A and B are shown apart, each in its own frame.
Chain A
Amino acid sequence: MFEDRHLLKRFKSGSRDALCEIYQKYENYLLSLAVGLLGDTNSAEDVMHDVFCKLIHSKDSIKLHGSLKGYLGTCVVNRARDGLRQRKRLQFHLEPDDSPADDTIAPDHSVIRTEETRRLCLALVQVPYDQREVIVLRLKGDMKYRQIATCLGISINTAKSRYRYGLNKLRSILLSKDDLESGVSKNETI
C-alpha cells in the first residue's frame, strides 16, 4: 500500500518511470481481468490502453481511497462493460503472434499461453456477463465478495448468487462438447 501510494505520487508529479513501474506491476493482473471478462485479447489490450490513458489524463485529480490495484481493477471492469455495450455476444480471438508457435513455452510468449487457458476462456465467454464478472473478479482479481459488491454496485448476496450460478454454468459448458472445433466438414478439400 505504501509503495503504491508512493508510486502514485511520483506518477502524479510526472515521472515516466513511475508510470512504467505501475504498468509493469499490474499489467498481467489487469490483463487477466480484461481477457477473462472479454474473452478477446485484442479488446483486452484496448481496455488496458484506455484505462491507463485515463489514468494519465486524470492524474492530477486522482484521489486514492483504497489500493491502486483495486482502483485499476475497477477501471478495467468499467471499461470492459462500456466496450461490451457495443456488442451483443463475444467471439474468442487468439493473440496474434508473429513468431511460429511451439508446443513448448517459446521465448516469444502468446498472451494466452496454454491450451487449458484457451479452453477456459472460450467457455467463460459463454457465461452470462454479470455472472462472468463476479467469477473473474473473485478468482482472477482475488477480490472478496464485499469488494466485488462495491465494485459492481450490487449487494453481497447478489454477488454470491451470481458467482454460484456462473460457476455452475461454466461447469456445464466445460463438460459439454468442445466448442473449439469450427464447422468445416472433414471432407472439404481445397
Chain B
Amino acid sequence: MKPSDPIEQSVKGMDITASKDMHDRVLGKLLNEMDESEQNPKAVNRPVIWRTIMKSKMTKYATAAIVIVGIFVGLKMMGVEPDGATPAFGIQDVIDAMKKVECYHMVCSAKNVGFSDEETNARITTFTSTEAWGSIDNTFFISKNNLDGSIIYKESITDCTYSYDPKLNTITKSYDGHVNENISGTNFIDSTIQSVEKACQQAEGTIKYTDEILDGRKVKVITAILPHEIQSVIKIYVDDQKYRISKISLVQTNDEGQGGELIFDVDYPDICPSDIYEAGAPRDARIIDTYSDTRPSDKLKDLLEKHKTHQNSRLKRLTDKHIVVKVREQTITPTKYYYETKIYQRNGNHSRESRMAKKLDHKLVLKDDFDYQYNLWQSYNEAQTVKIKDDIYQYTLERVADLSQKWRLSNKRKKSPLFKYSADLWRSVISSGTSSTRIVSKKIIEDEYSKKHNLVCIEIKTKGWDDGRSSFIELPERCLCYLNPQKDYLCHRRCIIQEKDAPWQNDQTWLDDVDPKRIPKASMHVNQILEYATTKTGVLYARKTGSIPYEKANVADIDLNSIATSTTTIYLNENPTFQEGIFSVDTLIKSNDQ
C-alpha cells in the first residue's frame, strides 16, 4: 500500500467544526426561512411505496410493535411496489383511521418461540407478559408486566417517567425522559420514525394486500416480507370497516431456524389509565425522586430569571446611536500576540460592523481611551470585512487581497441578525447549549470563592457526549457561574472544568471504543469580569473581561489584569458623530478610486 502523504494527512485532518454560535445562528435563520416558505399546512402524502426495513431482533419486538402502529399514522413510507393489483384500500386509509384514535391498548403473546440463549428467551417472556397503553401522539405511554407486576408510566408533557417496583413497593420518578432510549423528539410519529431508522437497514422486500377472515370477521391484511439475514414477515390486520389496526404479527427466523412469532392484539378502549396508580400501582408505594437535581429549585429559577432579564445590564440597551469598539488581546506564546478588533457603529436603522485581526511578535502598548482605540484601528485600515445594514439588506464587503486592497461586494442578504455585542459571560448561564438530557445537576452551591466575594454560585454538571461525527468528543463538565447580586446578577466569573473521568459520568466505559485522538485533554478554564462600567444612560456592562490562569484564579490579591492571558475591552461612544457615507456601500466602493 502506498504510504499516505503527510500533506494529505494534514489536510484531511483539518479541524473545522461549527461553533455553537454559528450553529444556532444559521439554523435559526433556516427555520425562519422554512416557516415563511410554508404556504399551506403540512400535507400527508399518500405513500405509494413502502420499504420499511426491519433489522430488529426478536428482543426488540415490543418497540417494533409501537413502531408499526406509528408507521401507520403519518409515517412517510418508502418501499416496494405492491405485488399484484392495486388494493381497494391502502395505507393512507389506515393512517387516516389511526389519526382519529385517542389511545390504544396492546397485549403481546408469542408462538413457537425458541432461542438457544437464555437471555433472549427471558426477554421474550417479559414481552409476552406485557400489556401497554398509549396515545398515538405520545402524550403518555404505560407498560405493565403482568408477570412481576412492574409498571412504567411515561408522560411526555412533564417529561417524567414513573417506574413502579412491586418488590420494594416504590415508584421512582425520573426526568431523563424516554422509556425507550431510541426515542427522541416531541412527536410520537417522528420519534417512532427515528426508532425505525435506528433499527433498520436497507433491504428489498415485497408487500401484499389481501382479505382474510380473523376470528370470524373480515379483515384487510397488509403483509410485508423482508428477506435479510433474519427473514421477517410482518402482517398487519386491519378492521375491514374502520381501517384500524387490530393485530400485528411479527415472524422472524434466523439462519439456525430459531425464531418464532410475536403477536400484538390491539384494541381501542374509551378510557385508559391516567396515571400509574390507575395502571395498578398501590397508593402507598414510596416515591423516590432521584433526579431532582436536574430541576431547578424555585430559588434557582428566580435567580436565573433575574440574570436573564437584567434590566439595566445589556449593551443591546444602548441608544440607537453609538459606537462600540471591542478589542481582544491574547498572549499566545511569550513571543506571539494576537489582536482582534470589532467596531460596531449604529445610527438608527443603519449600522456597520468591521473586523480585523493581527498576529504580532511583540505586544502593543495601547492607551485606554475610546478616541485612541477608535482612531488607531481605523487608521490601520486593515479591516478585511465590513458589513453594512440598512432597513432591508445586509451587505458584506471584503478586501481584494492584492496591492490595490479594493473593496468588493461579496454578499447581500435580507433579514440578517443584529450584531452581537456580548461583552460578558451571559451565555454561560442562560444557555450552555447543552441538551437537558446531558445535564446531571443544576443547583445553587456555596464555595469559598462565592462566600468571600458575596456572589451566588450556580453549579451545572453535564455528562460527556459523543455524537460520533465531531473531531472531538465533549468531555463531562462542571461549570461554576458566579453571579453578582450587586451588579444586576451579571455573571462575574465562569469556571469550567472538563475531565473524562468525572464521577457523574455514569458509564465509565463510554470512551472504551473511542479513538484516543478524539479525546481532548482535561482542562480548567476561568473567565472573569475584570472591570465593570456604566454608561451615561445607566447601562451596566462588563467593560473588561479576561481569561485567567486557573491556578491563579483564587488568589484575590493579585492584579487580575496583569495575569490574564486574554482580555477583551469595550470602548464606547454614546453620542458619536459619524463620517458622511459611513453606512453607504457605494461610498466604500467609490473609495477604491481614491
| Interface residue ranges, A against B (CB under 8 Å) | 1-3, 5-6, 9-10, 13-17, 19-20, 23, 25, 27-28, 31-32, 35-36, 40-43, 45-46, 48-49, 52-53, 56-57, 83, 86-91, 93-114, 116-117, 120-121, 124, 135-136, 139-140, 167, 170-171, 174, 180-182, 184, 186, 189-190
Contact = CB atoms under 8 A, between A and B. Distances in A.
Contact of B15 (A19, A48, A117): A117
B408 to A, nearest CB: 5
6 contacts: A16-B31, A42-B396, A88-B408, A95-B22, A139-B11, A184-B358
B17 A111 contact: yes
B396 to A, nearest CB: 7
B523 A28 contact: no
Interface stretch (B40-48, B102-110, B245-253, B552-560): B40-48
A49 B190 contact: no
Contacts of B471: 113
Contacts, number: 236
Contacts of B10: 116, 120
B525 A49 contact: no
B545 to A, nearest CB: 7
A102 B564 CA distance: 11
A6 B77 CA distance: 8
B355 A17 contact: no
A27 B21 CA distance: 13
B5 A98 contact: no
Contacts of B547: 100-102
Contacts of B376: 190
B421 to A, nearest CB: 8
A121 B14 CA distance: 8
Contacts of A83: 410-411
Nearest to B409: A86
B30 A53 contact: yes
B78 A2 contact: yes
B11 A135 contact: yes
Contacts of B201: 2
A53 B36 CA distance: 11
Contacts of B402: 88-89
A65 B359 CA distance: 47
B157 interface: no
B158 interface: no
B384 A91 contact: yes
A186 B362 contact: yes
A145 to B, nearest CB: 14
Interface string B561-578: 000011110000000000
Contact of A6 (B25, B76, B546): B76
Given A2-B202, A109-B20, 12 more contacts: A2-B53, A5-B78, A16-B31, A88-B401, A101-B328, A104-B525, A105-B472, A105-B520, A112-B16, A116-B14, A117-B14, A120-B11
A83 B76 CA distance: 36
Contacts of A136: 11
B523 A106 contact: yes
Among B12, B200, B401, B520, chain A packs the most CB atoms within 10 A around the CB of B401
B340 A94 contact: yes
Contacts of B400: 87-89
Interface of B: 5, 7-8, 10-12, 14-23, 25-27, 29-31, 33-35, 37-38, 42-45, 51, 53, 76, 78, 185, 187, 190, 193, 197, 200-202, 328, 330, 332, 338, 340, 342, 355, 357-362, 364-367, 376, 382, 384-385, 396, 398-402, 408-411, 413, 420, 422-423, 425, 427, 432, 469-472, 477, 479, 496, 498, 520-521, 523, 525, 527, 545-547, 565-568
Nearest to A20: B27
B16 A113 contact: yes
Nearest to A19: B34
A53 B33 contact: yes
Given A88-B400, A100-B546, A95 B19 contact: yes
Given A32-B16, A184-B360, A190-B365, A86 B408 contact: yes
Contacts of B385: 42, 93
Contacts of B19: 95, 97, 108-111
A43 B387 CA distance: 12
Contact of A98 (B420, B432, B523): B420
B71 to A, nearest CB: 12
A108 B398 CA distance: 26
Contacts of B340: 94, 96
What are the 4 A-B residue pairs with the smallest beta carbon separation, nearest first? A100-B547, A100-B566, A89-B401, A98-B422
Contacts of B355: 93, 96
A189 B567 CA distance: 20
A107 B433 CA distance: 10
A61 B546 CA distance: 51
A107 B18 contact: no
Contacts of B33: 52-53, 56-57
B384 A13 contact: no
Nearest to B379: A190
Given A46-B411, A170-B11, A171-B7, A28 B18 contact: yes
A87 B30 contact: no
Contacts of B43: 13-14
A112 B30 contact: no
A53 B350 CA distance: 25
B6 to A, nearest CB: 9
A24 to B, nearest CB: 8
